[in-house]
Amino acid sequence: MTKIKGRTEIAELGQFGLIDELTAPFTPKVKSTIKGVGDDAAVIEASKSTALLLSTDTMVEGIDFDLTYFPPKHLGYKAVTKGISDIVAMNALPEQITISLAISSKISVEFLKDFYAGVEFACREAKVDLVGGDTVASINGLVITITATGRAKKEKVVYRSGAKLHDLICITGSLGAPFLGLKLLQRESRVLEGVVGEKPQFEGFEYLLERYLKPRARYDIIESLAEEGIVPTSMIDISDGLASDLMQICRSSLCGARIYLERMPIARQCSQLGEQMHIDPITAALNGGEDYELLFTLPLEMREKVASIGCIDIIGHITEPQTGCFLVTPDGSEIELRAQGFVRKQE
């Protein structure tokens, strides 16, 4: 494509560079705005001691999901997860959501009822209320926008910018399963295109499908950390991939990082399907995204306390800013981490 003089392509800036470019002129001018752009959620003063958390996410058909293999109930559930995960990543519990839909003529009332059944299930599970939204017409497919709110004590809110030298880098759950679950769905969709009477081959990989189609926000971890009296120094949810999201913490905290290959939590089904499809599960973990697990840092002295919670792995440590962000292999080699751009189209 010929470059037009005076025109900057979005790809030149990347996702995070674009956000910086567009929001640079906006600095908080209202006294109640504690934190504006630049974290998982905005932080607004609710009272002298508490803060209101606010986040917005959008999902676009053909980019973030494919209705060929995405059941509406699962899509409703995942939309809620995507919204409330940003609140959880600020060390807060979600309370309310709104959902707005841009709906094309191909979408039926029955589809929407199933979608909202999934929304209702996720809300009931996470103990949040659906309190509003909007519906408008769309020419091209379905667009979902979810806004989530939460509340926390001001001193308990955790930002991306608090990581300190020698802090432990911790992660919940396992990584890469949603990406491989998507690849499995895409493979079976291609194989069965135009074929009648055959069923997709999903046996043995149910965990991967669940992690992609019905991910769960980790509010359980926030509750467990609170019970142990642990407040992370920084935190982010893994929506863009471990590499991108760790680099966001390092960028905001002005630090470097080392994570270790042998400590990466990879589910057995990821390795099995990765071998079948010739996909490196470590690459899926670093760059796949949509895990909705929590990546956070803690002081070194918290090691034993966080280990007692379970479902949390310590995968590395924070370093000096000039050292950069690297993955360390078992033989001591270092591979530089690179941030990914926008989420790739659902092929």
pLDDT in tens, 254-307: 999 999 999 999 999 999 999 999 999 999 999 999 999 999 999 999 999 999
What are the DSSP calls for 175-221, one per residue?
Answer: SSHHHHHHHHHHHHHHHTTT--S-----TT-HHHHHHHHS----HHH
In the chain, the percentage of residues whose pLDDT exceeds 90 is: 81
Tell me whether residue 311 is in a domain.
yes
In angstroms, the CA 254 to CA 251 distance is 5
What pLDDT is attached to residue 199? Answer: 85
Instruction: Say yes or no: 169 and 310 in one domain.
Output: yes
The whole-number pLDDT of residue 37 equals: 84
SS3 content of the chain, % helix, strand, coil (to 5): 35, 25, 40
Taking all residues of the chain, what is their mean pLDDT, rounded to a whole number? Answer: 92
Considering its fold, how many domains does the chain have in total?
2
Statement: residue 344 has pLDDT above 60:
no
Q: Are residues 133 and 179 in the same domain?
A: no
- pLDDT of 2 > 70? The answer is no
- Specify if 254 maps to a domain: yes
pLDDT at 87: 98
* Domain co-membership, 175 together with 127: no
For residues 129 and 166, membership in a common domain is answered with: no
Which CATH number goes with the domain that contains 104?
3.30.1330.10
Examine the fold and report which residue of 156, 181, 214 is the final residue of a domain before the chain moves on.
156
What pLDDT shows up at residue 342? Answer: 44
- Element (DSSP H or E) covering residue 122: helix 109-126
Tell me if 226 is assigned to some domain: yes
Do 225 and 278 fall into the same domain?
yes
Domain around 141: 10-156
Strands 33-35 vs 256-260: parallel, antiparallel or unpaired:
unpaired
Residues 226 and 320 in one domain: yes
Please compute, for residue 78, the number of CA atoms within 13 A of its CA located in the half-sphere on the CB side: 24
The answer to whether position 176 is within a domain reads yes
- Phi then psi for residue 251, to 5 deg, are -65, -45
pTM: 0.91
Q: Is the pLDDT of residue 345 over 50?
A: no
CATH of the domain at 167: 3.90.650.10
pLDDT of residue 17: 76
Residue 240 lies in a domain: yes
The answer as to whether 4 is a domain residue is no
d(CA 128, CA 93): 9
Q: Are residues 23 and 132 in the same domain?
A: yes
Domain end among 156, 178, 212: 156
115 with 167, same domain: the answer is no
- Residue 3 has a pLDDT of 57
| 164 lies in the same domain as 303 | yes
Same domain, 257 and 139: no
Is 340:289 a contact under the CB 8 Å cutoff? yes
- The reply to whether 58 and 116 lie within a common domain is yes
Structural domain contains residue 195: no
- Whether residues 110 and 174 share a domain: the answer is no
Mean pLDDT over residues 28-41, rounded? 87
